[in-house]
Amino acid sequence: MDNSSGFGPEDSRFEPWPRSKSARRFGARGRKVGVKRPLSAVVLAAGEGTRMHSSRPKPLHLLCGRPMVLHVIDALAELDVDRVVVVVGHGAERVTKTLLDSGPKMIVDFVEQPVLRGTGDAVAVALTAFPDDDDDGDIVVLPGDTPLLRPPTLAALVRDHRSGSAAVGLLTAKVTDATGYGRVVRDRHGRVARIVEQADATDEELAIDEINTSIYCFRRSVLAPALRRLRPENAQGEYYLTDTIGVLHDAGYSVVSRVVADPMEVAGVNDRAQLAVAEAELRDRTNERWMRRGVTMLDPERTYIDATVTLAADVTLFPGTILQGSTSIGAGAQVGPDTRLIDCVVGEAATVEQTVGRHAEIGAGAIVGPFVTLAAGARVAPGVVTGAFFDSEVER
């Protein structure tokens, strides 16, 4: 690092993090032609999530049928990200396996944070997955528990960061109740000067309604030196990533911010109640997307569709319909009311009502129900009529 960065080895307050031996890389995708500044992402998914009261690692709790951390990675969709570094810790093997099985279409590195010493430490561990001699470009940092973040919002943050030639850009939000969040403290010029966590805030700082979302875009060349200046002198005794904002501001670097239009986008998931709120929001988005693509829902509030489900045009879904897993519904089919299908295939123009099916196939034009249970492997031939009041013609 040259002296133009404003930092040097003498600024280190503790030993630099050694390159992790647990770093592993999977997948690949070429960089787009013409891109001059590389962009990478770090997803922080090492937390234990004790408030979930679950043996399942928090990043793997399901929202619309997909692990929460995958929804976070989805937010990178509008960015030309060269690779994603996921910091794992609690349940590291399960988190890693889940992401590998999902097959993200980009380079994915996994780095383990063996001792949870805070978000600053987690990002420093993530940097061990990057080559030491390549500090060009920018790094987006995302918490693994913000599944509602939309790709356009993240893309706008990166644009603001780059157009402002900033050392860091951060996403903030204005909320009516800031309890539990870090407050954004601005200097007399209105620029972001630092972030103060609630446990360390004064009464005056606690009155601030602008909060930190823990979503950033850093210039990579200044991130590592800023991390080396962190000290765990706070209520939690941890290395706060938020403290890098004050470090960079005080060193004279440009810090830009963007206030998110909808605070719901940056809502974190820390317990089952917040998980349910996020689930409802994602399902509303999913239903709206399908209706705009030609699917009819008589009561969207009572229609539940996993993010992994595929629907054709002119499908009609009646109230109480639950479609899960890899279920696929053909054009013109009618499903419901009170029907649950898991990993099923429904053919074109079929009718399925008051039915429960798992790993079953329903042929085109078939009529199934009411009061039918399709066991795994069951097959209803095209055009067949079956149900409680008809002779059964289900192949097993």
Q: Could you report the per-residue pLDDT of 317-343, keeping only the tens digit for each?
A: 999 999 999 999 999 999 999 999 999
Give the model's confidence band at 388: pLDDT under 50 very low, under 70 low, under 90 confident, else very high.
confident
On whether the CB atoms of residues 364 and 381 are closer than 8 A, the answer is no
Predicted TM-score (pTM) of this structure: 0.86
For residue 79, pLDDT beyond 70: yes
Average per-residue pLDDT for the chain? 88
For residue 162, pLDDT beyond 60: yes
Mean pLDDT of 7-16: 39
Main-chain phi, psi angles of 41, to 5 degrees = -135, 145
For residue 34, pLDDT beyond 50: no
**Exposure letters 135-164 (e unless 16+ CB within 10 A, then b):** bebbbbbbbbbbbbbbeebbbbbbebbbee
Helix H or strand E segment including 185: strand 183-186
For the segment 203-232, what is each residue's pLDDT rounded down to a tens digit? 999 999 999 999 999 999 999 999 999 999
Q: Which residues contact 357 (CB under 8 A, 6 or more apart)?
A: 340, 341, 342, 344, 372, 373, 374, 378
Q: Hey, what are 120's tokens?
A: 């600053």
**Structure confidence at residue 235 (pLDDT):** 85
Q: Which CATH architecture has domain 3-266?
A: Alpha-Beta Complex (3.90)
User: Does domain 293-395 bear CATH number 2.160.10.10?
Assistant: yes
DSSP 205-239: HHT--EEEEEEEEEEHHHHHHHHHT----STT-S-
Main-chain phi, psi angles of 89, to 5 degrees = -155, -90
Where exactly are the structural domains of the chain?
3-266, 293-395
On whether the CB atoms of residues 290 and 310 are closer than 8 A, the answer is no
* Lowest-confidence segment of 77-81, 102-106, 133-137 by average pLDDT: 102-106
Within 10 A of 363 (CB to CB), how many other CB atoms are there?
19
Within 10 A of 93 (CB to CB), how many other CB atoms are there?
11
Catalytic site residue from 51, 56, 272, 293 = 51
For the segment 225-284, what is each residue's pLDDT rounded down to a tens digit? 999 999 998 888 999 999 999 999 999 999 999 999 999 999 999 999 999 999 999 999
**Structure confidence at residue 12 (pLDDT):** 37
Single-letter amino acid, residue 26: F
For residue 103, pLDDT beyond 80: no
Give 31 or 86, the one with higher predicted confidence.
86
**Exposure letters 74-92 (e unless 16+ CB within 10 A, then b):** ebbeebbbbbbbbbbbbbb
**Structure confidence at residue 25 (pLDDT):** 42
For residue 171, pLDDT beyond 70: yes
219 is catalytic: no
**ω before 9 within 30° of 0 (cis)?**
no
For residue 181, pLDDT beyond 70: yes
For the segment 128-149, what is each residue's pLDDT rounded down to a tens digit? 998 876 678 999 999 999 999 9
Task: Please report how the helices 243-250 and 220-228 are oriented relative to each other, as an axis angle in degrees rounded to 10.
Answer: 110
For residue 5, pLDDT beyond 60: no
